């Protein structure tokens, strides 16, 4: 019955898939196939439970009859004697128990094979639909180039199809990029879409240029939640605000060419000050004068400094990307007019000291992503 039902479903779906198809109809068909696939899977699961319960019940009754022996009569039978009778009954039932397990295993394999044979064609149809590429007519596409990132020779742009906006990055050499940013109509966009269960999804855009066999294909990327950092591949990341490329990575820490170190876990950006003994007043002056990458820098709190502490990391119990030879970093926390608090990375503790004490003290600046 299930095989017949599956055959009918595939026949109906095949009829729907013949002829022309749009991205919208592909999404509808993909959902329809998924619905039928899930229903068939449920039907087979239900049938499996029914048959296994019936088969197990048949054998369980036989086993129960074999092991149904008189209970232990303590007045006329020793415990050893009762255990012997029980062991004989279990030994007698063992072949039946083994037959039960073999029959259940065989039934499980048979139904699983039948299920896979009937569902696989539907899954193949889903895969074929999901891989099918749909081209958006050029008349329905508009685009603009927003910014060129010279460090990675990549153009960032925005395109619109049927009212939906997509972002894209495409590799273009500098001279060509300058020409096309000024005259984007020299390029003809070919937008490719794919069908998913969530709807139509942008796949890529291919720009055809006026030159012979001149094409530029958009590349895959991931933009951070705050929209500032973009990753193209492991180790290939840039800061969209500055255009700087990541030059080094240490776990959750990423260092950029200007010396800024980003903590992707806490959302803080760090900049190490001059690597020399520094008292609190000097540390504050250095931070206040720092106007790197838009400013917004401040002295850290000891709680923020504690997020950097990791025993055994680097040679100062912190990421080696923050290059320093000092063991203590000043915080913004003060007491009265003469005391200030620092974080001691030699032991991971906070300590108050005189503001004019400089031995092993260092200045670090911190800010949240984007400054401020």
User: What confidence tens digit (pLDDT) does each residue in 150-163 have?
Assistant: 988 999 999 999 88
Instruction: Kindly indicate the confidence band of residue 371, based on its pLDDT and cuts at 50, 70 and 90.
Output: very low
- Mean pLDDT, rounded, of the chain: 90
Q: Is 346:268 a contact under the CB 8 Å cutoff?
A: no
Check whether 7 has a pLDDT greater than 70: no
Q: What mean pLDDT is predicted for residues 73-97?
A: 93
Domain extents in the chain: 2-130, 136-220, 246-368
Check whether 321 has a pLDDT greater than 50: yes
Question: Considering only 13-17, 42-46, 160-164, 344-348, which range has the smallest mean pLDDT?
Answer: 13-17
Question: Considering only 87-101, 164-178, 223-237, 334-348, which range has the smallest mean pLDDT?
Answer: 223-237
Tokens at residue 58, please?
Answer: 């048949």
Q: What mean pLDDT is predicted for residues 187-205?
A: 95
Instruction: Kindly indicate the confidence band of residue 3, based on its pLDDT and cuts at 50, 70 and 90.
Output: low
- 299 contacts: CB under 8 Å, gap ≥ 6: 283, 284, 287, 330, 331, 332, 363, 364, 365, 366
Instruction: Kindly indicate the confidence band of residue 17, based on its pLDDT and cuts at 50, 70 and 90.
Output: very low
- pLDDT at site 15: 46
Is the pLDDT higher at 1 or at 228? 228
State the DSSP H helix or E strand holding residue 372, giving kind and residue range, or none if neither: none
- pLDDT at site 8: 63
State the DSSP H helix or E strand holding residue 197, giving kind and residue range, or none if neither: none
**How many Cβ atoms sit within 10 Å of the Cβ of residue 169?**
18
Question: Considering only 13-22, 84-93, 327-336, which range has the smallest mean pLDDT?
Answer: 13-22
- pLDDT at site 1: 61
What backbone phi and psi angles, to 5 degrees, belong to 2?
A: -70, -35
Count CA within 13 A, CB hemisphere, residue 370: 6
Question: Which CATH architecture describes the domain 246-368?
Answer: Roll (3.10)
- pLDDT at site 16: 46
- pLDDT at site 372: 38
What backbone phi and psi angles, to 5 degrees, belong to 76?
A: -120, 5
């Amino acid at each position: 019955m299930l095989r017949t039902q599956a055959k009918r479903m595939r026949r109906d779906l095949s009829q729907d898939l013949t002829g022309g198809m749009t991205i919208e109809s592909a999404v509808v068909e993909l959902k329809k196939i998924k619905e039928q696939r899930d229903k068939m899977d449920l039907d087979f699961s239900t049938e499996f439970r029914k048959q296994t319960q019936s088969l197990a019940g048949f054998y369980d009754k036989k086993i129960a009859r074999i092991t149904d022996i008189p209970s232990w009569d303590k007045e006329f039978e020793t415990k050893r004697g009762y255990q012997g009778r029980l062991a004989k009954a279990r030994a007698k039932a063992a072949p039946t128990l083994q037959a039960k397990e073999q029959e259940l295993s065989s039934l499980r394999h048979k139904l699983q094979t039948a299920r896979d044979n009937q569902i696989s064609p539907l899954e193949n149809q889903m895969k074929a639909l999901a891989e099918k590429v749909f081209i958006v007519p050029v008349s329905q596409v508009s685009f603009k180039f927003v910014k060129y990132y010279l460090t990675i020779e990549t153009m960032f742009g925005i395109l619109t199809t049927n009212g939906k906006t997509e972002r894209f990055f495409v590799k273009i050499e500098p001279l060509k990029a300058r020409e096309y940013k000024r005259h984007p109509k020299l390029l003809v966009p070919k937008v490719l879409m794919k069908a998913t269960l969530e709807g139509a999804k942008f796949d890529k855009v291919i720009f055809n240029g006026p030159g012979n066999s001149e094409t530029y294909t958009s590349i895959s990327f991931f933009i951070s939640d705050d929209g500032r950092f973009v990753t193209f591949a492991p180790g290939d990341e840039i800061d969209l605000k500055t255009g700087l490329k990541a030059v080094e990575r240490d776990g959750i820490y990423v260092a950029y060419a200007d010396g800024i170190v980003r903590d992707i876990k806490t959302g803080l950006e760090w900049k190490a000050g001059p690597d020399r003994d520094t008292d609190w007043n000097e540390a504050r002056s250095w931070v206040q004068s720092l106007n790197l990458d838009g400013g917004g820098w401040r002295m850290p709190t000891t709680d923020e400094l504690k997020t950097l502490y990791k025993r055994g990391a680097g040679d100062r119990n912190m990421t080696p990307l923050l290059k320093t030879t000092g063991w203590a970093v000043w915080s913004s926390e003060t007491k009265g007019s003469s005391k200030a608090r620092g974080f001691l990375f030699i032991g991971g503790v906070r300590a108050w000291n005189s503001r004019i004490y400089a031995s092993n003290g260092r200045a670090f600046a911190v800010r949240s992503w984007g400054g401020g």
